[in-house]
Every structure is written in C-alpha cells, then in structure tokens.
Amino acid sequence: MSLKFSDEATSKLEVLYGRYPSKQPVILAALHLAQKEFGDLRDEVIDLVGETLDLSSAHVYGVATFYTMFRRKPGGKTSVRVCTNVACMLRGGYDVLAAFEKKLGLKKGESNDDFSLIEEECIAACANAPAIVCGTKYFLDVTPDQVDEIVTFLKSNPHPESEVA
C-alpha cells in the first residue's frame, strides 16, 4: 500500500502552497510533516514528498540528506537535539547534554522508543545559548536543572512545534 499524508498534513501543506509561486519552497515543511507522520524519511517517504510537491525524488533526497534534523532511519518518537557548538559550549551545552544522557538513559547518538538524543552543531540560537531543538520547537537558555521538566513536557508532546508558523 502506498503512503499518504494525513488530512491534517495535507491541509497544512495547502495553506503553505498559497504563500509561494510554486510548491518547491514548501519542501522543508513537507519533510518535517513527513518525518512527524511516518517517523523517518525512508525511500517511500521521499517518493511521497516528491509526488506531493511535483519534485523528483532525487531533489527531495538531496534536501533531506543535507539537513541534520531529518533522518532516514527509524528512531525515537521525539528527537532531542542538543547544541554543543561554541556559544552553547561556552554556556554549559555539554552539561545540558550530560543531563539529558542521564535522564533518558541514552548516550548521544542513541535512541529508544521514545527519544533519540543527538549532539548538534549550531542551531542558530546562539544569542540564547545553550539551546536545544525538538521537532521544530526551540528551548532556549537551557540549564541542566530544567531537563526533567523538558522531558516531562516532551513525553506528553512528542512532536512539539514552533509557535512561529
């Protein structure tokens, strides 16, 4: 059986199409929605995004494999991406990463059913370092003692979305 986007995802994409002269600029949003709906961007998901946006699978594959927030293999329901690049490192990013490792019982790069824990390069939130991103939602100025609260939030919101449309 071939894959299909949910009605909710299709509606979101249709709203986004209206903002641009073609469907191509919607590709990042479509890949986020696809990863949320199908868990990863395996070949058949890449094909679906291509068919949906009238783009070749090769084009979609090129975008999906360029950005580190997209994954081609299954992982936890929620990806916790902890930045340890320079600004975050200087303001305790490694302490935040260690707190997530302890709380989740995972080492960076590992997954269980609920979470994938990823050490990330700069996620463009340096002014509020240390930062993490889960789904499309950023958590800013994170301290290790906020990790319990963030994990509790993520367990009930496994696909958090940015408040910015």
Q: Applying CB under 6 A, which residues contact ligand FES?
A: 83, 85-88, 122-126, 129, 131
Rounded to the nearest whole angstrom, what is the least distance from the CB of residue 48 to ligand FES in the complex?
A: 31
Which CB atom, from 132 or from 151, has the smaller least distance to ligand FES? Answer: 132
Rounded to the nearest whole angstrom, what is the least distance from the CB of residue 43 to ligand FES in the complex?
A: 31
Which CB atom, from 49 or from 96, has the smaller least distance to ligand FES? Answer: 96
Which CB atom, from 40 or from 95, has the smaller least distance to ligand FES? Answer: 95
Continuous H helices in the chain: 7-17, 27-38, 43-53, 57-64, 86-90, 93-104, 147-156
**Cβ(26)–Cβ(20) below 8 Å:** yes
Interatomic CA distance for residues 86 and 117, integer angstroms: 19
Query: Phi and psi for 118 in degrees, rounded to 5?
Result: -130, 130
In angstroms, what CA-CA distances link 84 with 43, 49, 123, 129, 135? Answer: 31, 31, 9, 9, 18
Structure tokens at 11: 């509606």
Which CB atom, from 53 or from 142, has the smaller least distance to ligand FES? Answer: 142
Rounded to the nearest whole angstrom, what is the least distance from the CB of residue 67 to ligand FES in the complex?
A: 15
Rounded to the nearest whole angstrom, what is the least distance from the CB of residue 36 to ligand FES in the complex?
A: 22
